[in-house]
Amino acid sequence: MFSQFTPNTLSAFTAFGAILLALSWPLWYLMCRARYYYKVRNIPYAHDLGWFGWCITRSSRNEFISDFRGLMRKGFAKNDLGEVIVLAPQYAEEIREDAGLSAGVYTNIVSYPKRYIARTHSDPLPVLLQDELLTYLTIEWHAVPLYQTILMTVAQVSVCAFLGKEMARNRRWVELNSLYTTVGIGAVMALRPWPRFLLPIVCRLHPSVKATQAVLAEARQVMNSVLQKRQAEAGKRDQDSLDWFNEVAAYRRETFDPAVAQLTFGVASMHSTSDELSQVLVDLRDQPDVVEEMRKELIDAVTRLGWTHAALNQLKLMDSVLKETQRLKPINRVFNKRAVLKDMALSHDIYLPKGAFIAVSSDRTRDPDVYEDPETYDAHRYIKRAQSQPETARFCGFSSVSLESTGFGFGKHACPGRSYVTQELKILLAHIILKYDWKFASGYEPRYMNNGFDSMTDVTASVLVKRRVSEIAFPS
Ligand code: HEM
């Protein structure tokens, strides 16, 4: 019987098998898509191109990149991930535990910024308060690049908290951290318009990806010498973020690249912090009375309580300003960006099929039913809200999270660094308002950089600053 299988018959079988495979793959793909669209049939398209929408995606991708807010209102977007189901804010409650959804691996170590920073420096406050911060001495008005200056300062403070004072004084390491944040985000933005299937090729050739890799290569060199030095002085130093990562990796039985870990941690913490602080300075540009009131509040608290946590906790106006800035310009206009790992059913007949990408709209932060006159910047908004609605007072602090305040995310994966960053921002703002006056060129209008879900502060802005004499001294 087998003798009947000549080489010719065998090659005919192989060719037939190959054709069958080639035909069945598109069939399989179409079946998966059909199943997907059947499951999401109740969800309206934001960018409805009718039947052409099945083959034309470029125009919707562009609309996503340039005008996500407009697109989000319609509820359903297409972007570089394919399509994203944008859920209304109330669904955040239903997915808050993240069961069946992808999320960062960080949550198992969710307490690390709080727990480990406390362990690293029994109190990070003195470290962050060092008087070396922002010490431009010029008493004449002069221009400095807003975002870059803030980013370098935040990078220095963050490196100080994560790796100690010595590394914070290593200028190149601080630069690499701030560079990685900007070139890395630049690379993400540059790759975003490309179709997903071309990314493996494009990312090998694109100059912005190469720039990111160059920063990483240099960071690895610095990190290697740090690690060698540490081996020599084992046991004679405070624990820091490198020890945290080691501990977590050992717990998870994984290996990790210390340079990547540090730089990635930097991206999570430095970019959003710099964006928020730069935006506060932009928002307060025509509010001298508010700045003066913030100074008075700060001087009063520090005179009574010293440079302590208790004093920082009393800065209610500063808290309200930080929160109002984040309300009107969060760095992300959605939260809980996740991939669906198994089919899920939500209320009102919404089905999330496995493989879908979802995000929750943060539009409630501008909802007139939630916030009076929501489009107006009101520095005192959260102080008044805490007074008029005592039941919501505990949600009025900058670091608190609720469906009305989703700048730090919501649910199980809400930002674990938010208490730390509240302190960091208050200390940085304290330095700025006591040491400087600032203004922008007359007629200045901020130009926000919108890219899909992200909305960055005006990274091109120059700010005019001049040194002032602080009423109180900083601890040295
Ligand atoms: C104003 C500054 C900051 C903002 C607006 C911010 C916002 C956010 C948001 C929206 C998330 C996503 C939550 C989610 O996926 O649902 C997040 C996650 C995270 N943030 Fe922050 N963050 C800030 C500062 C920081 C700082 C200073 C640190 C570190 C000390 C930090 C560490 C993290 C980490 C590790 C995650 C991942 C959490 C997880 O996946 O479970 N963040 N942050």
Residue 241 lies in a domain: yes
| Cβ count within 10 A of residue 67 | 13
* CATH code for position 74: 1.10.630.10
pLDDT of 119 above 50: no
Tell me the percentage of the chain whose pLDDT exceeds 70. 81
pLDDT band at 20 (very low <50, low <70, confident <90, very high): confident
423 within ligand 1 shell (Cβ under 6 A) = no
pLDDT of 86 above 90: no
pLDDT band at 355 (very low <50, low <70, confident <90, very high): confident
Would strands 357-361 and 82-87 be described as parallel, antiparallel, or unpaired?
A: parallel
Residue with tokens 């609605």: 389
413 within ligand 1 shell (Cβ under 6 A) = yes
pLDDT band at 77 (very low <50, low <70, confident <90, very high): very low
pLDDT, position 46: 60
Mean pLDDT within 152-170: 87
Mean pLDDT within 31-57: 63
Mean pLDDT within 207-213: 93
pLDDT band at 133 (very low <50, low <70, confident <90, very high): low
Tell me the percentage of the chain whose pLDDT exceeds 90. 37
Range of the domain at 310: 35-467
Please give the helix or strand (H or E) that residue 345 lies within, else none.
Answer: strand 344-346
In the reported structure, the alpha carbon of residue 268 is separated from the centroid of ligand 1 by a whole-number distance in angstroms of 6
pLDDT, position 272: 93
370 within ligand 1 shell (Cβ under 6 A) = no
pLDDT, position 235: 65
Please report, as a single letter, which amino acid is at residue 431: H
pLDDT of 210 above 90: yes
Mean pLDDT within 425-444: 93
Q: CA geometry: angle at 83 spanning 200 and 28, to 5°?
A: 75
pLDDT of 396 above 60: yes
pLDDT of 70 above 90: no
pLDDT of 123 above 60: no
Most confident by average pLDDT, 7-11, 147-151, 249-253: 147-151
Structurally, the chain folds into a number of domains equal to: 1
Residue 27 lies in a domain: no
Q: Whose CA is nearest to atom 36 of ligand 1?
A: 415
Residue 26 lies in a domain: no
Q: What is the mean pLDDT of the chain?
A: 82
In the reported structure, the alpha carbon of residue 267 is separated from the centroid of ligand 1 by a whole-number distance in angstroms of 10
Mean pLDDT within 316-332: 96
* DSSP characters over 63-124: HHHH-HHHHHHHTEEEETTEEEEEE-TTHHHHTTT-TTB---GGGGGTTHHHHHHHHHSS-H
Residue 23 lies in a domain: no
Give the C-alpha separation, 425 to 72, whole Å: 30
CB 130 within 8 A of CB 149: no
Residue 289 lies in a domain: yes
103 within ligand 1 shell (Cβ under 6 A) = yes
pLDDT of 377 above 80: yes
pLDDT, position 96: 83
In the reported structure, the alpha carbon of residue 106 is separated from the centroid of ligand 1 by a whole-number distance in angstroms of 10
pLDDT, position 76: 43
pLDDT, position 4: 59
pLDDT, position 114: 45
Higher pLDDT, 153 or 36: 153
pLDDT of 378 above 60: yes
Residue 8 lies in a domain: no
403 within ligand 1 shell (Cβ under 6 A) = no
Q: 269 CB contacts (<8 Å, ≥6 apart)? A: 158, 417, 421
| pLDDT digit string, tens, across residues 229-259 | 887 776 666 778 888 888 888 888 888 899 9
pLDDT, position 108: 42
As given in the structure block, the two tokens for residue 368 are 């007139």
pLDDT, position 128: 56
Greatest alpha-carbon pair distance for the chain in Å reads 101
Q: 299 CB contacts (<8 Å, ≥6 apart)? A: 471, 472
pLDDT band at 434 (very low <50, low <70, confident <90, very high): very high
Least trusted range by pLDDT, from 115-124, 349-358, 391-400, 409-418: 115-124
Question: Is residue 160 a known part of a binding site?
Answer: no
pLDDT of 105 above 80: no
Residue 68 lies in a domain: yes
In the reported structure, the alpha carbon of residue 55 is separated from the centroid of ligand 1 by a whole-number distance in angstroms of 36
Residue 180 lies in a domain: yes
Higher pLDDT, 118 or 77: 77
268 within ligand 1 shell (Cβ under 6 A) = yes
In the reported structure, the alpha carbon of residue 110 is separated from the centroid of ligand 1 by a whole-number distance in angstroms of 10
381 within ligand 1 shell (Cβ under 6 A) = no
pLDDT, position 215: 94
Position in ligand 1 atom list of the atom nearest CA 412: 41
| Cβ count within 10 A of residue 80 | 17
